[in-house]
Amino acid sequence: MHIDRTEKTFFMFSVALIIVFAIAVGISGMVYGIALPTPPEGFDVNPQTVATPGVSPWGEQPPDARLHELAPGEYEVYILAQTWLYLPNRITIPAGSKITFYVTSKDVIHGFRLDDTNINMMVIPGEVSKLTATFDEPGTYNFVCHEYCGVGHHTMYGQLIVE
Ligand code: CUA
């Protein structure tokens, strides 16, 4: 069977590209530990009950109470994503603080992208997306939903205020 030289080159290039991508996926998973979000041990994140007070940290009321100070300058916050808001949607921390975001959804897939940081997560019902960042510069950082989640998607945002 005769295969044209150009076609052969193109075919080999395509196969090489697939191999490169497969290696990249392997390295990111095994060396850098990049993985799909999964619930941490001991967390009940059933989307049907996750927002119920007493069941999970995402049920704490009022939502502002979901920001916990662990130590001076060290915080964690449990943010519940739902159509079409984040609760809490206004978080205030002092400059120089380190904060860990635990984000889950009680309905559909949402996103969580925080301006001027590398925080960019998919938020999946039943799973927990977690990332930590340190904020040295005072200012207002918006976080927005970047997964289309319905007619109110473009109104879904919140703010991290660093004082
Ligand atoms: Cu939530 Cu788009």
Q: pLDDT tens digits for 57-104?
A: 899 999 999 999 999 999 999 999 999 999 999 999 999 999 999 999
Peptide bond into 58 cis (omega under 30): no
Domain ranges of the chain: 1-35, 57-162
Ligand 1 atom at minimum distance from 150 CA: 2
Selecting from 1.20.1600.10, 2.60.40.420, 2.60.260.20, 1.10.3720.10, what CATH number does the domain 57-162 have? Answer: 2.60.40.420
Q: Is the pLDDT of residue 56 over 90?
A: no
% residues pLDDT > 70 (the chain) = 95
For residue 156, which atom of ligand 1 is closest to its CA?
1
Protein residue with its CA nearest to atom 1 in ligand 1: 110
For the chain, what is the mean pLDDT? Answer: 92
Q: Is 150 in the pocket of ligand 1 (CB under 6 A)?
A: no
What band does 33 get if pLDDT is binned at 50, 70 and 90? confident
Q: Is the CB of 124 under 6 A from ligand 1?
A: no
Does position 40 have pLDDT exceeding 90, yes or no? no
Q: How confident is the model at residue 35 (pLDDT cuts 50, 70, 90)?
A: confident
